[in-house]
């Protein structure tokens, strides 16, 4: 086992259980075992200053990263519940929505996308529509459709600027190919009327030869914004500019780690990838592997960055001589992330490892 620096604790929550952390709020959403949309929603909360949880019954009117609005069935009227008091929300999802979740969990991304779109067309609750859009962002990202993912995320922001779905924002952390059409779209996003649009555009073009200077300037402005989600993501994006050997100091990397610890847990994946890469460039493969492994073991929000981290961790472990651990990770990438082009690289690494082992074995076994 590799030694790990202090980091957030948590556990991986599969999408099949319909339990995912939301931006700034840890919330589990479960489907009822009913077939009609008339069933009431159930919101379990732990109010500040109380010793036990209570469950409220009614209709969720809206839900963002600040609060949930519940129309109670008891005649008590509309109740505003702070997001940090919410333990769970139970609601009804359509058959298309439930089917999409199953397909997504099975890695059938094309089918899941079609089912999510069908569910979106029939869904009339704005807060559930935003959840479906977040799922569609993730489908597009897994299919390499960055521009589509960005357009869908900006639909979420238009519907609710204080969205709890910031974990779905399609930013670039690990290197990935960007098409000319996407770069052209990103140059337009740099002038978007929302900070989210400008953040996405600057992320795509941060190291672009033609638009990089403008993107860096915009990212620095976003890093000074008062919204902590925008500013923290923008500062972490700027770390990408220091990913060259000798560009960071140990004190700087410690400050990065401290800043990541202050972020909501569901936004830490990309910043952890950058931190790990900086440790690798500094020759600290042990710490790089530990930080990269945080994504596949704890994080479940950005699968595109997670698969990059898993593969990078396997390579770091190989350099440390921990070939069995690396081989286990390669197998996980090939199976858990079969939809990703990087799964092919993992399978190739597994073949190379087996060939190396065979070549070093004595003749005759």
- The CATH number assigned to the domain holding 350 equals 1.25.40.10
3 occurs within a structural domain: no
Of 206, 226, 242, the residue that ends a domain is: 242
| Last residue of one domain, picked from the residues 242, 262, 289 | 242
Per DSSP, the three-state class of 159 is: helix
Residues 288 and 342 reside in one and the same domain? yes
Alpha-carbon dihedral sign for residues 276, 280, 283, 285 = positive
Q: What is the pLDDT of residues 299-353, one digit of tens each?
A: 989 999 999 999 999 999 999 999 999 999 999 999 999 999 999 999 999 998 8
Average the pLDDT over each of 24-38, 286-300, 337-351 and give the range with the smallest value: 24-38
Range of the domain at 347: 270-360
Instruction: Let me know if residue 218 belongs to a domain.
Output: yes
Residue 42: inside a domain, yes or no? Answer: no
Q: Are residues 233 and 279 in the same domain?
A: no
Q: pLDDT digit string (tens) for 140-180?
A: 999 999 999 999 999 999 999 999 999 999 999 999 999 99
Which of 142, 144, 140 lies closest to 152, judged by CA?
140
For residue 269, give the nearest of 363, 162, 138, 97 by alpha carbon. Answer: 138
Strands 54-63 and 67-72: antiparallel
| pTM listed for this prediction | 0.87
Q: Which residues pair with 45 in a beta bridge?
A: 54, 86
pLDDT at 31 over 60: no
The pairing of beta strand 54-63 with beta strand 78-82:
unpaired
Predicted pLDDT of residue 310: 97
Tell whether 233 and 292 lie within a shared domain: no
Q: Would you say residue 142 lies in a domain?
A: no
pLDDT tens for 217-228 read: 999 999 999 999
Q: So what's the pLDDT on residue 357?
A: 60
Domain count, the chain: 2
pLDDT tens string 81-129: 999 999 999 999 999 999 999 999 999 999 999 999 999 999 999 999 9
- Name 349's Cβ contacts closer than 8 Å, sequence gap at least 6: 314, 315, 326, 330
């Amino acid at each position: 086992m590799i030694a790990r620096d202090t980091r957030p604790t948590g556990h991986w929550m599969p999408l099949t259980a319909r339990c995912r952390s939301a931006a700034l709020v840890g919330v589990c959403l479960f489907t009822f075992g009913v077939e009609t949309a008339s069933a009431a929603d159930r919101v379990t909360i732990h109010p500040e200053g109380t010793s036990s949880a209570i469950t409220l019954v009614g209709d969720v009117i809206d839900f963002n990263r600040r609060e949930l609005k519940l129309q109670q069935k008891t005649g008590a009227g509309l109740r505003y519940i702070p997001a940090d008091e919410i333990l769970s929300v139970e609601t009804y999802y359509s058959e298309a929505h439930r089917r999409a979740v199953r397909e997504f969990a099975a890695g059938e991304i094309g089918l899941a996308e079609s089912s999510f779109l069908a569910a979106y067309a029939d869904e009339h609750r704005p807060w559930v529509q935003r959840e479906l859009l977040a799922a569609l962002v993730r489908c597009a990202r897994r299919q390499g459709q960055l521009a589509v993912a960005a357009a869908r995320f900006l639909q979420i922001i238009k519907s609710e600027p204080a969205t709890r779905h910031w974990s779905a924002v399609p930013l670039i952390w690990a290197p990935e190919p960007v098409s000319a059409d996407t770069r052209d779209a990103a140059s337009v996003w740099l002038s978007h009327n929302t900070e989210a649009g400008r953040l996405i555009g600057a992320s795509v073009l941060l190291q672009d030869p033609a638009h990089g200077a403008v993107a860096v300037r915009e990212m620095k402005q976003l890093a000074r914004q008062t919204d902590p989600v925008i500013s923290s993501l923008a500062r972490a994006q700027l770390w990408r500019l220091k990913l060259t050997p000798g560009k960071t100091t140990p004190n700087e990397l410690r400050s990065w780690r401290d800043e990541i610890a202050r972020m909501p847990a569901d936004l830490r994946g990309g910043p952890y990838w950058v931190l790990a890469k900086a440790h690798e460039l500094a020759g600290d493969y042990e710490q790089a592997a530990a930080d990269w492994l945080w994504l596949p073991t704890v994080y479940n929000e950005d699968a595109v960055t997670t698969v990059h981290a898993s593969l990078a961790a396997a390579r770091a472990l190989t350099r440390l001589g921990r070939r069995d651990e690396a081989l286990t990770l390669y197998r996980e990438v090939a199976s858990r992330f079969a939809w990703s082009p990087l799964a092919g690289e993992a399978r190739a690494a597994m073949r190379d490892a087996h060939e190396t082992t065979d070549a070093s074995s004595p003749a005759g076994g």
